[in-house]
Structure 1
Amino acid sequence: MNIGSLSFFELASERLRWLAAKQEVVSQNIANANTPGYRARDVAAFDDLIGEGSAPARTGLAVTRAGHIEGAGRAASGHATHVDRDARVRSIDGNTVALEEQMIVATDTEESYRLAADLYRKGHDMMILAIGGRR
């Protein structure tokens, strides 16, 4: 995906989808905080997603029926996920989820989502103002 070919609204929409995928992965990490051997996961960086000449990193198993379970290599949105190599904590049972870190990531993601949604809304308002001359 080439950032030069994206409109403001396409870029904002992709950012919102990426943030939703990140929040989904954080939720899965929190849900598996007590699962022995579970390794914390993360979503590929947004910069990698929109990098020059690259396509969205969408990997994993194809889900051909509604009853199929999603593959471990992607979020439901299709964004690639990977084992979080920066996980600092490893419990005796091999679990690498630190609830405090996950809560910080969840809060940062929520704030980023709110900002991106506000920017999208403001862009829409400016478009309406430019077309109609009033709000």
Structure 2
Amino acid sequence: MTGAGPGQSPRGHRSVPHTGDLRVEAWAPTREECVVEAVRGVVGSFAELPADAPRVTRECVVSAEDDGRLLAAVLEEVVYRMDAADELPVDVAVTPEPGGARVRFRMADSSTATQTGAVPKAVALHGLRLAQDSHGWACRVTLDV
């Protein structure tokens, strides 16, 4: 897996066919932007939120022992907030912190969303990847649905 290549945007995400689960790949120039693209890819795979949905800001710091675990921790926070607070991220910003990252979500009530796919229930650690290559950063994550 590589980041952006010829003819490909420097940042983006896509869903990849995977039996019974949701797999998302994302790429961007920086590690933090790659995590943002992964969040957008995951949410976009199952929900459409109206542009005028009321939003609230939520912030958290996630700790991780490596880059892959950082990706998992941010996505686990998305799944947790979906389950516990019925909120979905409309936008997200990630900034580096010692031993992890600070995540700022702009959240909307999930009742305003149109469900377009299977809702993720958990982040799988198998096959998890977030790494830098010659084109920037790329990641791959599988979620149980």
Is TM (by shorter chain) over 0.5?
no
- Between Structure 1 and Structure 2, which shows a larger proportion of strand residues? 2
Normalised by the length of structure 2, the TM-score is: 0.29
TM-score normalised over the length of structure 1:
0.31
When you count helix as a share of all residues, which structure comes out higher? 1
